Amino acid sequence: MTVTMPAMVRQQEAGWIALLDVAERVPNGWSLVGGQLVHLHCVERGESPPRPTTDLDTVLDVRAYPAMLRRFTAVLVDLGFHSDGQSSQGHQHRWKRGDGAQFDVLIPRHLGEVAANRRGVTGATTIAAPGSQQALDRTETVEVGVAGRLGAVRRPNLIGALVGKAATTQILIDPARERHQIDFATLASLLQIADLRGAEFSKLDRQYLGNMIFRVTDAKVDETVTGATRGIRMLRRALEPRG
């Protein structure tokens, strides 16, 4: 099945077409995360995403592909992207192009010092994000159509997307906390029984999901997204210990 993306603003469409270009050259070893992942899951299920976003977030599987950061950023440079600058920690995670396309390139946390110090094409490291490995471990490939262009996009399934989004609770100072909660509620609203059939949750998955469910329901964010309360109820049941 082809997922046909709806009309998008210029910067967002440019980013998606760039993602298809990257996917042709790097078919494995990465996954789409962040707001555009929420957008994609909504479109796959015939729903409209609740918030606009133009940048694309990708996480790289540097555990399975140690040279992936260098390879992925080299492809971005070849496609006309440049680093948007370097942080005081030496990270270059944001890549931009003149047509407005923008990528945030991330790696998983807790893979050890060697993985954390992998270098991109410019010799810089990048940000390690919580929950990224869980998203990578649940990644699938889907065919996506953007403005008449077809390509393969790697993205975590809905459970992987929920766990990845829930892991943002580990960010101590998070200016995007409210946005992450809305995204989680949106993903939860898409849940169906089939998504949970056979799903397995590690101890860390349960911790992330439990923390985010508490935050979302405590702030009543789920009440602002149609279907989110139902989805969170289903997720809670799935997380209950089985005797």
Mind listing the pLDDT tens digit for each residue in 203-239?
999 999 999 999 999 999 999 999 999 999 999 999 9
Average pLDDT, stretch 73-88?
96
- If asked whether residues 58 and 87 sit together in one domain, one would say yes
Whether residues 123 and 189 fall in one domain: no
Write the CB contacts of 172 (distance below 8 Å, at least 6 apart in sequence). Answer: none
Pair (118, 35) in one structural domain: yes
Same structural domain for residues 91 and 61? Answer: yes
Please identify, among 111, 130, 156, the residue that sits at the C-terminal boundary of a domain. 156
Q: Look at residue 34 in the predicted model and tell me its pLDDT.
A: 93
Q: According to the model, what pLDDT value does residue 125 have?
A: 96
Number of domains in the chain: 2
Residues 203 and 217 in one domain: yes
Is residue 219 domain-shared with residue 150, that is, in the same domain? no
Residues 48 and 108 in one domain: yes
Band of pLDDT at residue 53, cut at 50, 70 and 90: confident
Are 30 and 73 spatial neighbours (Cβ–Cβ below 8 Å)?
no
User: Would you call 154 exposed, middle or buried from its count of C-beta atoms within 10 A (0-12, 13-18, 19+)?
Assistant: buried
CB 22 within 8 A of CB 111: no
Select from 156, 173, 202 the last residue of a domain.
Answer: 156
* Residues 131 and 12 both lie in one domain: yes
117 Cβ neighbours under 8 A, 6+ residues apart: 125
| Together in a domain, 150 and 182 | no
* Average pLDDT of the segment spanning 68-92: 96
pLDDT tens-digit readout, 111-137? 888 988 999 999 999 999 999 999 999
Residues 148 and 166 in one domain: no
Q: Which range of residues forms the domain containing residue 143?
A: 1-156
Residue 12 sits in the same domain as residue 98: yes
Q: Which of 144, 153, 77, 73 is nearest to 107 (CA)?
A: 73
Chain segment 131-188, per-residue pLDDT in tens: 999 999 999 999 999 999 999 999 999 999 999 999 998 876 667 789 999 999 999 9
Q: Which of 107, 144, 142, 141 is nearest to 127 (CA)?
A: 107
Q: Find the CATH number of the domain harbouring 40.
A: 3.30.460
Interval 100-111 mean pLDDT? 94
Please write the tens of the pLDDT for every residue from 16-25.
999 999 999 9
Clarify whether residues 88 and 164 are in a common domain: no
* SS3 call for 173: coil
Percent residues over pLDDT 90 in the chain: 85
User: Which residue among 134, 156, 178 closes a domain?
Assistant: 156
